Structure 1
Amino acid sequence: MADRPLTMMAVHAHPDDEATGTGGVLARYAAEGIRTVLVTCTDGGCGDGPGGVKPGDPGHDPAAVAALRRRELEASCEILKVSHLELLEYADSGMMGWAANDAPGSFWRTPVAEGAARLAELLRQYRPDVVVTYDENGFYGHPDHIQANRITMAALELTGMTPKVYWTTAPRSAMQRFGEVMRELGADWEEPNPDSEQDPAKAAETPEMPEIGLPDEEITTWVDTTEFGGQKFDALAAHASQGENIFFLKMGKERFTELMGVETFVRVHDTTGAALPENDLFAGLR
């Protein structure tokens, strides 16, 4: 529509998620004059506190952590030139199995219908042409990421709106190299071995989390964001309080951009008929 700019909405779980998975596309599309809207669902209160104090440890104050992370999120958005930041401000649910999952006000225990209704208001307000969130497993099984997927898909159904919808992912072809770099940087990273044998009885007792990422041929959309690698790196660096957990920052900008210069997605809804694979989230819209 002539009276409304092309708009992308990214729905993320925590402060810093916007930079990790979509920092490149947020920066690229902002530079192309597209309106970018970031919805952050939780307050990030289960993140590290000052000095690296961990959730549940003495001195960890979730409210203070949330306030700090909000300032970091605002700084990240400024770096990425995000047009509009919307905060749902649910309590961070922590990792799967944490007591925080069931805490009053946590995003994970919030009824999907409630979260979807709030997000639907933002969808109606901004009327995005493109919506990006996580897949049904939240990419790596985090409860808040899973919930972000659930409320996004429910909100779209509630509004009846039909933007192009994408889920973030990673190509399996890149995971081995990524794992090598992570181990080099001191991360506890184990590469899955599809050839290894496992006792079926043991496997049934300890079901594995779905493998991260997708085979290359299942990825529909490959967006080159190399030109914006520096912005993406700086946006991640803005989340300094979580630096211990952001191994990417140890690479330095050049290596980071080389490894993270293409952002990949699965297109799960489209009415444009744009051919696949595509290299632009807005293919068929302009």
Structure 2
Amino acid sequence: MVDRPLTLMAVHAHPDDEATGTGGVLARYAAEGIRTVLVTCTDGGCGDGPGGVKPGEPGHDPEAVAAMRLKELAASCEVLKISHLETLGYADSGMMGWAANDAPNSFWRTPVEEGAARLAELIRRYQPDVVVTYDENGFYGHPDHIQAHRITMAALELTGELQPKVYWTTAPHSAMRRFGEAMREFASQSENESGSEPQAAAQDDPAAGQPSQPDAGAELPDMSQIGLPDDQVTTWVDVTAFGAQKYDSLAAHASQSESIFFLHMGKERFTELMGVETFLRVSGPSDGAVPETDLFAGLR
């Protein structure tokens, strides 16, 4: 037990990542009086521009996109009642293999020790009791997610005297199968409504923060092996009561709505699929039994 206000720190790669994987816990714990701190590592400049213009297309201005996404991030934080937002401001690296990976100030090419030192300053300032970030593969292989994992774990080594509980976001295989079914259902409905032929397969990563809206009838990716077997997931947090709030925080990132599959299913279906957030407990002072239902189990 601690004799001071509890603090949750979530370290994410891009604006909107906070909403998908941790929007529920951020909203739930804020409502319980826990201080919530969001650290966003990149500026999101590789996101969609006005009108859905994609990176590399004429009219895409990464600096303008970054400025727009910072405003949307602030709006999302307001929806989730996040106590403190900290932005590291690194350039969005884009997907693995993009030229943006090697752009000046890209997060991917930033030395881990540099990013870790900056994050360590924030950890010492806020002294979080719980820290949440991604696993070593960034959950699905995005370079900025991988780098967020790397600097977080390095920063925790630098601040080893604090020893918070540490979690990595994950998804049980059963949930990923349900996501896949939902995408197929949505694609089928879109085809029936439009009567159009499929144009292209769904791209990006449907359960990892920036899922694409599937084209009608398109061949959809197999997501059943993303995440972990159900019995390896240590922590299952019920955030059903905050489903609408989580949806609204994601919707605050309106400029990216074309690429966020979850926004196309409506609040009720969204809450059905996203009403439990799951994590892998990596370390911390609590040696309590798993599975657990509270990130702060053993701390209060």
TM superposition score normalised by structure 1: 0.92
Distance 1:122 1:148 in 2: 14
Distance 2:220 2:15 in 1: 23
Distance 1:176 1:272 in 2: 31
Q: 2:222 aligns with which of 177, 182, 191?
A: 191
- The Cα offsets for residues 83-136 of structure 1, whole Å up to 9 and x where unpaired, read as 000000000000000000000100000000000000000000000000000000
Alpha-carbon contact 1:185-1:247 (below 8 Å) kept: no
Question: How big is the shift at 1:232?
Answer: 0.2
Distance 2:134 2:169 in 1: 5
Distance 1:185 1:44 in 2: 27
Question: How big is the shift at 1:192?
Answer: 5.7
Alignment of 1:22-171 (within 5 A): 22-160=22-160, 161-171=162-172
Distance 2:226 2:116 in 1: 26
Matched, 1:258 2:266: no
Residue 218 of structure 1 aligns to which amino acid in structure 2? Answer: Q
Matched, 1:267 2:281: yes
The corresponding residue for 1:221 is 235
The corresponding residue for 1:179 is 180
Alpha-carbon contact 1:7-1:128 (below 8 Å) kept: yes
Distance 2:121 2:223 in 1: 41
Percent identity reads: 80
Moved over 2 A (4+): 183-186
Question: How big is the shift at 1:174?
Answer: 1.6
Matched, 1:245 2:276: no
Question: How big is the shift at 1:260?
Answer: 0.5
Alpha-carbon contact 2:177-2:223 (below 8 Å) kept: no
User: Which structure 2 segments of 5+ residues have no match?
Assistant: 188-213
Alpha-carbon contact 1:45-1:92 (below 8 Å) kept: yes
RMSD: 1.0
SS of the equivalent of 1:183 reads: helix
Residue 141 of structure 1 aligns to which amino acid in structure 2? Answer: G
Question: How big is the shift at 1:185?
Answer: 2.5
Distance 1:120 1:215 in 2: 32
Alpha-carbon contact 1:8-1:35 (below 8 Å) kept: yes
Distance 2:35 2:90 in 1: 25
User: Which structure 1 segments of 5+ residues have no match?
Assistant: 194-210
SS of the equivalent of 1:46 reads: coil
SS of the equivalent of 1:139 reads: coil
SS of the equivalent of 2:139 reads: helix
Question: How big is the shift at 1:176?
Answer: 1.5
